[in-house]
Amino acid sequence: MSSESLQKYEFKQSLERLKNYRGHATELVSLYIPPDRKIYDVQSYLRNEASQSANIKSKSTRKNVSAAIESIMSRLKMFKAPPENGVVFFVGHVSKGGNQTTMVQEVVVPPEPLPTFLYRCDSGFFLEPLEGLGETKTQFGLIVIDRSEAALGILRGATINTLKHMYSQVPSKHGKGGQSKQRFERLIEEAAHEWYKKVAHSATECFLGNNVEGLLIGGPGATKEYFIKREYLNHELQKIVIDSFDTGYTDETGLRELVTRGSGRLAEMQLVKEKKLMDEFMKEILSPKGTLATYGMKQVEMALTMGAVNQLMISEGLEKMDNVEEGTVKRLGELAEKSKAEVTIVSTESEEGVSLQKAFGGLAAILRYPIS
């Protein structure tokens, strides 16, 4: 958890930094190498680009593009093959005010595999293929159900994947007189009971052991509530039901409807996690003993070095604060990894996130044992 959270943070910071660079002309090179591309193929592609760049009219642009390509080619010699997700080079002379430029050479390893090879020379670095990568791709299970049909799916990031669409054999209710009416109703209820068991069994197959963080359940009317309250679901799944919502449909359209209705609750979940942590921290800070919490750069760093930190909370805005140098988060992350401390990057969107930044200098820790 800790290293993944930090990798995402560092990736996001790299993109922020790269966004702000500008070249005097179209001389900033972006090169995307997917994991399956042979390094010698890339080298020969770049040799070709280098000879093409000899035709650029402006002398300074020609010189700068050529220098960028040479820089990438010499760095590529260090690679036998691309990393497992591929690699991206951003190289070129960027403006630093007046007529001055400085050479930027950044190598970014993406958090997900790159799909295609891409070379682009422009006045800014080409970042579009990387935007949206590294967003939290937590998975949520989706069930929409009524007495006649049900659909199950998984929500990952913004993508809904339908896993199963089923129809029931439950007869619809229609009036019959006397004794047979009661018997008929009993048969309907038995068929419904078997149907709920069948949907619950499919949910176990689809979601259990599939890294699903929570379940949303939807459908028209009261069936979904009955399904939840009577605990048809496997008890491990029952524990992670987040909420239920009314949907007009119980097919793929119903799954989409369910995500729309439940999106507010899902966004809250990350904030709820952060709130819980900050509440635990505040409780320690305010307790008369106050021994299992610390905050501020010097104190937290000392606690990390001693291996006393259980949970480290870093504000997303830490490196934007005065007196905090770039690379601090990386250094803290490495210390945390050594002592197996959990790391949470706390967003600045919530009340707790703001208080972490303003009241505690953007850095806080819950400790394993008291330190003096």
Question: Per-domain residue ranges for the chain?
Answer: 19-130, 139-269, 287-367
What is the per-residue pLDDT for 135? 63
Supply the pTM of this predicted model. 0.57
Residue for token pair 């959990």? 342
Contacts of 193 (CB under 8 A, 6+ apart): none
Burial of 287 (0-12, 13-18, 19+ CB in 10 A): exposed
Average pLDDT on 276-280 reads 89
Give the Cα separation of 303 and 278 in Å (integer).
Answer: 18
C-beta separation of 345 from 278 below 8 A: no
- In angstroms, how far is CA 322 from the centroid of its own chain? 28
Q: Give residues with Cβ within 8 angstroms of 185, minimum separation 6.
A: 173
**For all residues of the chain together, what is the average pLDDT?**
90
- The model's confidence at residue 290, banded by pLDDT at 50, 70 and 90, is low
Rounded to whole angstroms, how far apart are CA atoms 206 and 210?
Answer: 7
The whole-angstrom separation of Cα 331 and Cα 227 is: 49
Superfamily of chain region 139-269: eRF1 domain 2 (3.30.420.60)
- Residue range 287-367 forms a domain whose CATH class is alpha beta
CATH tag for 19-130 (out of 3.30.1330.10, 2.60.120.1310, 3.30.960.10, 2.115.10.20): 3.30.960.10
pLDDT for 30-52, tens place per residue? 999 999 999 999 999 999 999 99
92 or 182, which is more confident:
92
Q: Which residue has the higher pLDDT, 276 or 223?
A: 223
Same fold, 19-130 and 287-367: no
* d(C-alpha 72, C-alpha 207), whole Å: 45
* Cα angle 134, 137, 141; round to 5: 175
User: Which pairing describes strands 309-315 and 212-219: parallel, antiparallel, or unpaired?
Assistant: unpaired
Phi and psi of 40, rounded to 5°? -65, -30
**Mean of the pLDDT values across residues 353-359?**
90
